[in-house]
Amino acid sequence: MIVGVPKEIKSSEGRVGMTPAGVFELVKNYHTVYVQSGAGEGSGFFDKDYQQAGATILDTIEQVYAKSDMIVKVKEPIAKEYDLIQEGQIVFTYFHFASSESLTQAMIKSKGVCIAYETVEDEEGTLPLLTPMSEVAGRMAIQQGAKYLEKPVKGRGVLLGGVPGVAPGRVLILGAGTVGIQAAKMAAGLGAHVTILDVNMKRLRYVNDIMPSHVVTEFSNEFNIRKHIQSHDLIIGGVLLKGAKAPNLITRDMLKEMRPGTVIVDVAVDQGGCVETTKPTTHGNPTYIIDDVVHYCVANMPGAVPYTSTVALTNVTLPYVLKLANMGWRSACNLDKTLAKGLNIVEGEVVYEEIIKTFHWESAVA
């Protein structure tokens, strides 16, 4: 198979879909790999590294798409890439279709085979290709939240860890999944008081078992959310519904109940956000303020630490890339039910039920 790795062109995105080590494995299996010039530079991988691993470097993104049977990316294609995708071409990347009907319609029109990292699901119900980026984003959420609590950037002026004689900051985390647990680890490590909410009691018991005593668990409901937003300094949105739009757990009217300078980091922004006032931002302009509440809603948070993120991501995607290249998508998905759940749109047809539900479509073909 001919595999193409284009340069990511989303704003402030330094990750790349494949490392030189991945190229080496594909070439060892008799596949051809085309890498766009400069694709890996943001992650510290240069054209000569890919060439030494056996890749051919192409100058433009158009050449990569035109020559490849399968495209391996990190972020969803943006508008200028839509027309480059060919009928029957495999595109293996994060799509987050539930947050963008225009992207969904464009991929239906392309008649490509869209396999989404975020819906690849194993027998235990975990999402192996989403987990590493959720780990990065969860840890970054506290790092960024702590920064935006500073007064010069309109935060409350609170140091999360406090100092002797001054109480630590208070962090509220919505969701006890991968994002929530990683955020809680970082916040607890800084010495903050942490409250983590979820509707899954098994997850709350797990958090209670592994976290120190200053990480407190509570059942998630509107009453508890309204109570805690009044007293917490930093709020992390880490709620995920597999392949579907995130629920709005914090509504616009709730912002008035928060103290001025409270910071919200909505990690769920890729799936529409779990805060009603969430709108995607970029690393170049990451925050905005509504009702004196600072919103940090960068849709590609791990893109700010591209080396760590690229290596973490490709560690888990490469086995599936090899399977797709060695067997083709039909055989690979027939034999691997985990990978099959990644199929979202196949040659003009939506095959992932949550997308149909999200957009209230009556059938699988838009």
Q: Which residues of the chain have pLDDT under 50?
A: 366
Question: Which residues carry a binding-site annotation for NAD(+)?
Answer: 134, 198, 203, 220, 239-240, 267-270, 298-301
Per-residue pLDDT, 244: 74
The pTM of this model reads: 0.88
Phi-psi region at 360: left, alpha or beta (left = phi > 0; alpha = psi -120 to 50)? left
| Contact residues for 129 (Cβ-Cβ < 8 A; gap 6+) | 117, 118, 120, 313, 316, 317, 320, 342
Selected catalytic residue, list 69, 233, 266, 270: 270
CATH architecture of 2-119+306-359: 3-Layer(aba) Sandwich (3.40)
Separation CA 182–CA 98 (nearest Å): 24
Selected catalytic residue, list 96, 193, 232, 295: 96
**270 is a catalytic site residue:** yes
Residues of the chain with CATH 3.40.50.720: 2-119+306-359, 131-304
Question: Which residues carry a binding-site annotation?
Answer: 15, 75, 134, 198, 203, 220, 239-240, 267-270, 298-301
Per-residue pLDDT, 130: 93
For 202-210, which contacts have Cβ atoms below 8 Å and span 24 or more sequence positions? 203/176, 203/177, 204/176, 206/176, 207/176, 207/180, 207/181, 210/181
The domain defined by 131-304 folds into Rossmann fold (3.40.50)
Per-residue pLDDT, 366: 45
